Structure 1
């Protein structure tokens, strides 16, 4: 049976769980009797052992820091990136393999947690195209909601990354009163995700930007056509870091994942993404078109098939703020359900406060 995650102390900065590389062998003991080097290392992983004395006064444990202080002062960095993270995923996929935290269980409640992938995306983004050291797959997820996850609730969390910060690849999830930060497709996937009363913060890019073009994209849903709900933003604030240009960010673009079928490997035509923004504040960084297209894998293996926003299930309702006014680009899809009915369906069976 899946085990429930025990909530950590407030503001605990999360590293990879059951995903870190094997640690080096234990260093030589400082003392044959107390094995203080081993003891001190054990304290780093299990502070409950503090208080046991080794028998020698000079080897008494260090004072225990106040609750949460140790994590704030000594965060455990996790810098996996899709280019090199294939070994961390069961099927050898780099993007989910890069995730700092993976949740793959049901009825999970997570509160007061910062989850960050600290890969230096900007350093790679700054390199010119064609540079030998520039990697082509800089996706670095902070949180992966994996295929067995369902009825996952996150309150007062901070999900920090750049490209592909949050990968919704499972069932239903609710995120409330939280911060999600990134730049390229930083909330994406085929899951049913309701984000409420949260800040959706676009982060800067280091690559050169041409005014009028799209620099970044908030969401990239790949919702199956058979699924009613995709990524829903309710009463959220779409903000930006200093340096993000005006009119440079799309609300969403349609991701059709490359999938293997009996007749070949190409973009999934049944992944008709659904993204809905209801009662959201939008700052001036939102592009006046609001939505844009995305290329996918054609049957000949090239990234030449274009999927249009107009053919997706994208909509917004009652937006406000300087980025809310939208140019008519022919978006016609409307949600057949109101936000109250959507909330009931996604939140059914969620862990309660």
Structure 2
């Protein structure tokens, strides 16, 4: 990238990310990049030594299931009881029907006998699949009158279908509740049942259904079927694919809040939608920021029912699309902030359904790792170079491959191609300084076959594969600007990412101009990057690109330029409109440079693309005196004031009061710009 160049989501439960984070970073802003780096390293060791229940075992619901009512304070399932692992129907029934609270981990496939059996779950239970391995086949769960505080998560419940599409004889549901309350159904894969995938009946209330995949079914999701108007339900971030009816059908619900759901009718599959979201009887429904693809009659209502639509997107739909009647304000009951409708398909395709990180411990995740490859310069490993180890990863590998790199300096370029996901680069030394991958290409460096590398091509390490992780190492570009003044193009990237779910934990990324390029595979592709417990070092636009990226609990070190002067720009986002850009949170910005010499950022409209909407937010971060009092500036004819640049509750000598040259978020705006809002349902977990 040349130096001179011619918006909300549900307030999900803010459970801590399952990684070590340096508490010391938020204390005083006194850390600088120096010879020791001991503060971050010490905290990593302390975090690893701490034993605590995994976040999924203590997770609590959002939406209506989080509301205190009927004597129940939110929905937290069996977190107060023992955690047990089951692999048989007998054990699952034993614990699910017990009077005591339990967290029940389903590890493997349980085939129900007889087919269609629904286990009668009692109160205070969490039933969770172990990663993606927990399957219930040929049956499901029943929550009866008065049952409360139940969580059903991360399971695949499937295949009670008896071969009759509109089956009137077999009431075989995946999850049925009759008069239950405070129930959270989350991150499940529900499909091919004889009757409903989810039935919420007989005044069941305070229910949240989130982040599920519902597919290949006729009567998918029914709510109500009672003359009483009592049910309060939140339905968000669910992917309904090839489901004919009840998507959902909501009868006599007092408050039905549906948002950020993706209803998809795929052509030529043999399943055709008859309708999408249906408000029946006296239901009051708020329907917002959902995406309907190819669905017939996407939104319909009875004359007596209400639907208030906001921000929904419709593509290839036909037939009835209705709204009208009185609304309610969901924020009266709980906080939330939905995604843009345009982002919903990509978010749900990558994040709905069971997650490998739920229902498993770090130890079991490590044990399940398919492969560990070792790299050592001295020949004591399987490979002498990092790239040789990457080359050995099979194409389309289905599970994690850890490339363990022994201490040493590896002068090479490394590329992880898009067909090799789930790769971890892990330095094995006692410090992140012990293992260094470094090279010195620049944008203007001639290539052996002719031409030059260009900015992206200059990267020492290039990551194009999803679900990549790096930890406990240094990635550097040591291009010598002073010695190459005649060279055109001094941009020299240390690390380029062009993938989704990239997790950089406990690393150093070091360079001068254009150090860390956080890109996406394509302009219309979501690319999330989470950087924690790390150092990023540079001077000009050294955190840049179009990815949705978080720099959290890290140190951003400002560096003088090749001639000893102090001047530069921390970020240069090139965010696509409707996406989130760069978030710096809970961190420290400092370095051995002159006061008031660095901007926090400027808008990069790559290629002069006026449709871009660059974004950088810096919040809860300690800023040294190096930051200018007017911290944002224009770029290549584009004004930063036309894009999205803001601060929130920063501290230190470089912080300043809100003004026209220094916009601050309001508390309400900041509530939609937190780390988990950026990550969109992805919880980075070390593996």
Structure-1 residue corresponding to 2:651: 320
The match for 1:6 among 396, 402, 410 is 402
User: How far does residue 13 in structure 1 lie from its aligned partner after superposition?
Assistant: 4.7
Match for residue 505 of structure 2?
155
Does the 8 A contact of 1:289 with 1:327 survive in 2?
no
TM-superposition CA deviations, 1:244-296 (whole Å, max 9, x none): 111000000000111xxxxxxxx00012210001100000110111111111x
In the alignment, structure 1 residue 79 sits paired with structure 2 residue 457: no
Aligned to 2:464: 104
Larger Rg: 2
The alpha carbon displacement at 1:150 in A equals 0.5
Q: Secondary structure at the match of 2:468?
A: strand
In 2, distance between residues paired with 1:219 and 1:340? Answer: 17
| Counterpart position of 2:581 | 230
Mapping for residues 267-286 of structure 1, pairs under 5 Å: 267-286=608-627
TM-score normalised over the length of structure 2: 0.36
Q: Tell me how far apart the structure 1 counterparts of residues 657 and 406 of structure 2 sit (CA, whole Å).
A: 40
Q: Distance in 1 between matches of 2:578 and 2:453?
A: 25
Q: Which runs of 5+ in 1 are unaligned?
A: 20-66, 125-132, 259-266, 296-305
SS in 2 for 1:6: strand
The verdict on how the C-alpha distance between 1:136 and 1:333 changes in structure 2, with shifts beyond 3 A counting, is farther
Change (3 A) 1:188 1:73: closer
Q: Give the Cα–Cα distance (whole angstroms) in 1 for the partners of residues 532 and 493 of structure 2.
A: 19
Q: Match for residue 37 of structure 1?
A: none
For structure 2, the residue ranges without an aligned partner over 5 or more in a row are: 1-394, 417-427, 521-526
CA contact (8 A) 2:445 2:487 kept: no
Return the offset for 1:343: 1.5
Q: CA deviation at 1:191?
A: 0.4
Q: Aligned to 1:319, what secondary structure does the other structure show?
A: coil
Whole-angstrom CA distance in 1 between matches of 2:633 and 2:508: 27
1:44-123 equivalent positions in 2, closer than 5 A: 68=429, 77-84=438-445, 94-123=454-483
Structure 1: distance between partners of 2:577 and 2:644: 9
TM-score scaled by length of structure 1: 0.68
Q: Find the residue that maps to 1:310 and give its secondary structure.
A: helix
In the TM superposition, 1:137-216 aligns within 5 A as 137-146=489-498, 149-170=499-520, 171-207=527-563, 209=565, 215-216=567-568
Cα distance, 1:180 vs structure 2: 0.2
8 Å contact kept, 1:109–1:351: no
Say if 2:548 and 2:678, in contact at 8 Å, map to a contact too: no
The match for 1:217 among 569, 572, 576 is 569
1:84: how far off?
Answer: 1.9
Which among 597, 603, 607 is matched to residue 248 of structure 1? 597
Shift of 1:8: 2.7
State the Cα distance separating 1:309 from its structure 2 match: 1.4
Give, in angstroms, the shift of residue 81 of structure 1.
0.5
